[in-house]
């Protein structure tokens, strides 16, 4: 009797990645290793509902920075589906689409510990809980953070992930001030930002 093929485990890591930085990459790699993910999809937000009105770097340029950052890592994939959506991009919509595309796969939504408390305010959190496991990365305790979460939510807490205190908005500010981004973003991304004058003085 032939043995059944193992179920593919696909991590979903969403964000604007404006710019992608080493903290994102460390988080993705730790999630891949800790949760035994076959693939991590970087879902690039086009019109994030929580950042409406905020100017974002053009989608194509954020994609290119991701391509540079992820070059050579077969387990990391860029997912550009949100660009085609007319309205805001919601996590539940992405998960619904992925479930149709990969009905046999286990979807694992990767979130930071600081985002877990906001999950009840996301669009259709109960449906998110049905569609995906939740992998929480970072320091904290479930008892302090999980209040108000949908019943039946399946989440795994990974606390050994190294905390990398890098934020994209701080990097944009550094670039505007002409300060170095060295060792905060991949070198290829740093060069791209310099060559295209991204985040420069306004």
Structure confidence at residue 150 (pLDDT): 65
- Give the three-class secondary structure for 107: strand
Residue 192 lies in a domain: no
CATH number of 134's domain? 3.40.50.620
- Give the three-class secondary structure for 35: coil
Q: How many domains does the chain have?
A: 1
Residue 190 lies in a domain: no
Residue 73 lies in a domain: yes
Return all residues near 12 (Cβ < 8 A) that are at least 6 apart.
40, 41, 43, 91, 94, 95, 98, 107, 108, 109, 110, 132
- What are the pLDDT digits (tens) for 6-40? 899 999 999 999 999 999 999 999 999 999 999 99
- What are the pLDDT digits (tens) for 107-124? 999 998 878 778 888 999
Range of the domain at 75: 9-164
Model confidence at 140: pLDDT above 70: no
Cα 61–chain centre separation: 17
Instruction: Give mean pLDDT, residues 141-168.
Output: 70
Residue 2: pLDDT band by 50, 70, 90 thresholds?
A: low
Q: Please calculate the CA angle 33-190-111 and round it to the nearest 5 degrees.
A: 35
- What are the pLDDT digits (tens) for 178-188? 999 999 999 99
Using CA atoms, how far apart are residues 48 and 23, in angstroms rounded to an integer? 20
Residue 172 lies in a domain: no
């Amino acid at each position: 009797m032939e043995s059944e093929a193992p179920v593919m485990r696909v991590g979903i890591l969403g964000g604007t990645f404006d710019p992608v930085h080493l903290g994102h990459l460390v988080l993705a790699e730790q999630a891949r290793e800790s949760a035994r993910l076959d693939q991590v999809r970087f879902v690039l937000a086009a019109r994030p509902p929580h950042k409406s009105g905020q100017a974002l770097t053009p989608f194509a340029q954020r994609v290119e920075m991701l391509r540079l950052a992820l070059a050579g890592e077969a387990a990391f994939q860029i997912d550009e589906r949100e660009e085609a959506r007319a309205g805001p991009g919601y996590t539940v919509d992405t998960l619904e689409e992925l479930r149709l595309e990969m009905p046999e796969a286990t979807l694992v939504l990767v979130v930071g510990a600081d985002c877990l408390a906001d999950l009840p305010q996301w669009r259709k959190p109960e449906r998110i809980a049905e569609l995906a496991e939740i992998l929480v990365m970072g320091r904290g305790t479930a008892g302090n953070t999980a209040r108000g979460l949908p019943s039946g939510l399946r989440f795994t807490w990974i606390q050994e992930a190294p905390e990398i205190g890098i934020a994209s908005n701080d990097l944009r500010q550094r670039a505007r001030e002409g300060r170095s981004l060295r060792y905060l973003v991949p070198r290829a991304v740093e060069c791209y930002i310099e060559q295209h004058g991204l985040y420069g003085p306004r």
